[in-house]
Amino acid sequence: MTDPATTAKTRQSSTPLDAFAHQARQSLLAERNAVGHWTGELSSSALSTATAVCALELARRAGEPSVEPLIDAGRAWLLEHQNVDGGWGDTTDSPSNISTTTLCWAVLGLMGEHDERARKAHERAAAWWRSEAGEPAPDRIASIISQRYGVDRTFSVPILTMCALCGRFGTGPEAWQHVRSIPFEMAAIPHRLYKWIGLPMVSYALPALIAMGQVKHHHRPSGNPAIRMLRNGLRTKTLRILESIQPESGGFLEAAPLTSFVSMSLIGCDLREHPVVRRALGFLKSTVRTDGSWPIDTNLATWVTTLSINALASGEPLLSSLPSAEQEPVRSWLLGQQYRTEHPYTHAAPGGWAWTDLSGGVPDADDTPGALLALRKLSEGSVDDVLRSAVAAGVQWLLGLRNRDGGMPTFCRGWGKLPFDRSSPDLTAHALRAWSAWREGLPAALGERTDEAMSKAVRYLVSAQRADGAWVPLWFGNQAEAQQENPLYGTSRVVRAASVKLSEESPAWTEALGRGRSWLLAAQHPSGGWGGAPGLEPTLEETALAIDALAQPSASEDERAALERGIDWLAQRTENGARFEAAPIGLYFAKLWYREKLYPKIFSVMALGRASRVFSSESK
């Protein structure tokens, strides 16, 4: 229990807390772009850079000399950012891992034929590989990479395909025996049947299914005459499908890796002049950074904008930070990001939001709740017909996405049992909060459906809780955790949903939330901060998330004491809101790590705002 001295200290700290919160808010507001919303900045990625350089180098060898300066700059960046141990991680702050190192090893091996520095870096990478997994021979590489990803071929086949294209598996058809065949002909089947055929890739990877299936067929076709004939007959049709789903920007999912994998595969089929390749190479040219690197994705503009709006409104009315005249452009922009027609790529129904404002985005079950919550904050006391219609569509979109267990998958319902198609606690809790925020204004029939969905979501969350009281998320991790999971993020996001009002009481839900809060308290680091799991070094993001979750009006004395220590840790680490250092806690597709410059600022503003409410109410 907290002693009286600690409680007194807490009550006396409201003014410094308010000053700290104000400084953090100003820092976040200063990050807005000229239009008035947030764009953010993702960390540069060795994996993205390696795949982009490979695609460009293969294009150069196929007769595209204009890309040579980009190849030189990308190669120089990779050489400069090779870890001391000879490998590469996903970010410059990440330890070496087998996937990223294999891709860098492959492309530098290709380029090392005529570049001494690349050859030496390739040799160092091979030495790292030997120390971690044995001799990097084709069969060993194929075995290790396949084991890493299991039945999900979404990323294992692209890695092995790039190795083959770079000549790391030898030459001729025999080089392709280590690359699993992908049934690209399945892309010609009506999308409504995908859930019945069990695709070996997750729902967002259709471009890779087509392109990588074709390059394997091109170099080493099936020995079965019927399958070979079928695939020959469907090459043109599936290429037309690929062209039809390519976004205007040329970047599939706005991601350099997926776009690079598609373009290098088609170049490997002698299709350098294909429209898909030309647009994909254009995307790579337009998204390279001045230092020669590529990020894992172009931007998370919609995501970081909704997070920022919700954070700014966490401690005081949004008007205190954003006057009405500054709110309206953000509101209009955010409404403009809603998908109003069926998505041509995933065939998602109208009504959802993606993570980016660019054409390569796909609506999902994390950004849609984020947008709904932000629109709630941006429309206090002013809900017009346009907003009412957008909200109803967003609510219906989430309702239609639910899995049978009551939880939320990421993109599509029913495509399979791979990670992004399964229910996730962080996504489900986010949807729960969004439904609750708009429940009172919904039409009667839609409101009843929402009540039912909320009850089922709660039952799913209760069932998904670990025995120790934690929840594990899908989209965030911690590099130092044994399984690279981040139960701190998952638990904080579910506990944050404690304010949700249900149509009927759920003692099991109340008990689960209590166990979650207890887990958060026990996970606090001796220094006062929080890491992704008990015993891990704290980060700004994880500490702020824990504070945000625990800062509830009903917080116990122990929770208030933990909050005080956490705020002190945040104040010291940020120099009272003057410096925010991002950590690589974000997970992109296929568990690719990233840092986002705005995460520590957003989460800190959110946490300090919530904490200021708790402590100011205590002093009254």
- What mean pLDDT is predicted for residues 403-430? 83
Pair 179, 275 in one domain = yes
Q: Same structural domain for residues 164 and 17?
A: no
- Residue-wise pLDDT for 117-158, tens only, equals 999 999 999 999 999 999 999 999 999 999 988 767 778 999
For 164, residues 6+ apart whose C-beta sits below 8 A from its C-beta are 175, 176, 178, 179, 219
CATH number of the domain residue 324 falls in? 1.50.10.20
CA atoms of 369 and 343, how far apart (whole Å): 18
State phi, psi for 137 to the nearest 5 degrees.
-85, 155
- Residue 146 placed within a domain: yes
pLDDT for position 419 = 65
pLDDT at 15: 54
Is residue 569 one of the residues assigned to a domain? yes
What is the per-residue DSSP string for 376-402? HHTTTT---HHHHHHHHHHHHHHHHH-
The mean pLDDT of 103-112, rounded to a whole number, is 96
- Is 34 or 411 the better-scoring residue by pLDDT? 34
User: 114 phi and psi, to 5 degrees?
Assistant: -130, 15
pLDDT at 2: 39
As a whole number of angstroms, the distance between CA 362 and CA 339 comes to 9
Q: Which two three-digit tokens encode residue 231?
A: 């695939």
Domain co-membership, 586 together with 478? yes
Task: Kindly report, residue by residue over 66-100, the tens digit of the pLDDT.
Answer: 999 999 999 999 999 999 999 999 999 999 999 99
Average pLDDT over residues 167-177: 94
Asked if residue 105 lies in contact with residue 121, where contact means CB atoms within 8 angstroms, the answer is no
Mean pLDDT to the nearest integer, 27-45: 97
Region 150-169: what's the mean pLDDT?
A: 90
pLDDT surpasses 50 at 1:
no
What region, left, alpha or beta, does residue 172 occupy, with left being phi > 0 and alpha being psi -120 to 50 degrees?
A: left
Number of H helices and E strands in the chain, helices first, is: 24, 4
| Integer CA distances (angstroms), 559 to 10, 13, 200, 546, 553, in order | 12, 16, 46, 11, 11
Cα-based angle 23, 27, 33 (whole degrees, multiple of 5)? 155
Show the tokens assigned to 197. Answer: 């055929």
To which residue do tokens 């690359």 refer? Answer: 179
Residue 1 located in a structural domain: no
The string of pLDDT tens digits covering residues 300-328 is: 999 999 999 999 999 888 988 999 999 99
Residue 416 pLDDT > 60: no
Same domain, residue pair 271 and 313: no
Q: What is the pLDDT of residues 536-562, one digit of tens each?
A: 999 999 999 999 999 998 899 999 999
* 3-class DSSP assignment, residue 593: strand
Residue 548 lies in a domain: yes
Same domain, residue pair 134 and 236? yes
Q: What is the pLDDT of residues 175-222, one digit of tens each?
A: 999 999 988 998 888 766 555 555 555 556 789 889 999 999 999 999
Distance (Å, whole) CA 185 – CA 183:
5
Whether 439 and 451 have beta carbons less than 8 Å apart is answered as: yes
What pLDDT does 193 receive? 58
Same domain, 192 and 147: yes
pLDDT of res. 13 = 43
Per-residue pLDDT reduced to its tens digit, 474-531:
999 999 999 999 999 999 999 999 999 998 899 999 999 999 999 999 999 999 999 9
| Distance from C-alpha of 202 to C-alpha of 364, rounded to nearest angstrom | 14
Residue type, position 340, single letter: R
Composition of the chain by helix, strand, coil, percent to 5: 60, 5, 35
Q: Could you give the CA distance from residue 217 to residue 231 in angstroms, rounded to a whole number?
A: 8
Instruction: Give, as one character, the DSSP assignment of residue 177.
Output: T
Q: Is 322 part of a structural domain of the chain?
A: yes
Quote the pLDDT of residue 6. 41
Tell me what the mean pLDDT of segment 395-424 comes to.
83
Which of 295, 321, 352 delimits the end of a domain? Answer: 295
Range of the domain at 534: 9-42+299-619
Residues 103 and 211 in one domain: yes
Domain end, chosen from 251, 272, 295, is at: 295
Query: What is the number of domains present in the chain?
Result: 2
Which pLDDT score is estimated for 122?
Answer: 97
Mean pLDDT of 433-447: 96
Is residue 4 in a domain? Answer: no
φ/ψ region of 576 (left if φ > 0, alpha if ψ in -120 to 50, else beta) reads left
Dihedral Cα 478, 482, 485, 489, nearest 10 deg: -60
Average pLDDT, the chain: 92
Task: Say whether both 192 and 60 belong to one domain.
Answer: yes
Q: Evaluate whether residue 435 is within a structural domain.
A: yes
pLDDT value of residue 348: 84
What ranges in 36-115 are assigned the alpha helix state H? Answer: 46-61, 68-80, 98-111
Tokens of 79: 């050489």
Same domain, 426 and 532: yes
> Is pLDDT above 60 for 354?
yes
Kindly state whether residues 405 and 466 are assigned to the same domain: yes
Max Cα-Cα span within the chain: 82
pLDDT bin (cut points 50, 70, 90) of residue 112 is: confident
Distance of CA 212 to CAs 103, 130, 235, 269, 597, Å?
16, 28, 12, 10, 33
Q: Which residues contact 366 (CB under 8 A, 6 or more apart)?
A: 303, 355, 410, 426, 427, 430, 475
Q: Are residues 549 and 426 in the same domain?
A: yes
| Distance separating alpha carbons of residues 584 and 90, to the nearest angstrom | 9
346 pLDDT above the threshold of 80: no
Per-residue pLDDT tens over the stretch 277-295:
999 999 999 999 999 999 9
Q: Are residues 470 and 608 in the same domain?
A: yes
Query: Could you say which of 258, 277, 295 is where a domain stops?
Result: 295
Among 442, 530, 439, 533, which residue's Cα sits nearest to residue 485?
533
pLDDT of residue 200: 52
The reply to whether 15 falls in a domain is yes
